Amino acid sequence: MTVRLHRDVSLVGTDDGGVLLDQRSGEYWQLNRTAATTVRMLLDGACEQDVATALVAECPPGEVDPAQVLADVHELAEQLTAAKLAVRS
Q: Which domains does the chain have, with CATH numbers?
A: 3-88 (1.10.10)
Confidence at residue 58, expressed as pLDDT on a 0 to 100 scale = 95
Residue type at 7? R
- Higher-confidence residue of 1 and 43: namely 43
- φ, ψ (nearest 5 deg) of residue 28: -135, 155
Please name the residue ranges forming H helices in the chain: 33-43, 48-57, 66-82
Confidence at residue 49, expressed as pLDDT on a 0 to 100 scale = 97
Q: Is the pLDDT of residue 1 over 80?
A: no
- Order of strands across the sheet with 28-32? 9-14, 17-22, 28-32
pTM as predicted: 0.92
Confidence of residue 89 (pLDDT cuts 50, 70, 90): confident
User: Each residue of 5-16: pLDDT tens digit?
Assistant: 999 999 999 999
User: Each residue of 29-61: pLDDT tens digit?
Assistant: 999 999 999 999 999 999 999 999 999 999 999
- Beta strands 9-14; 86-88: pairing state: unpaired
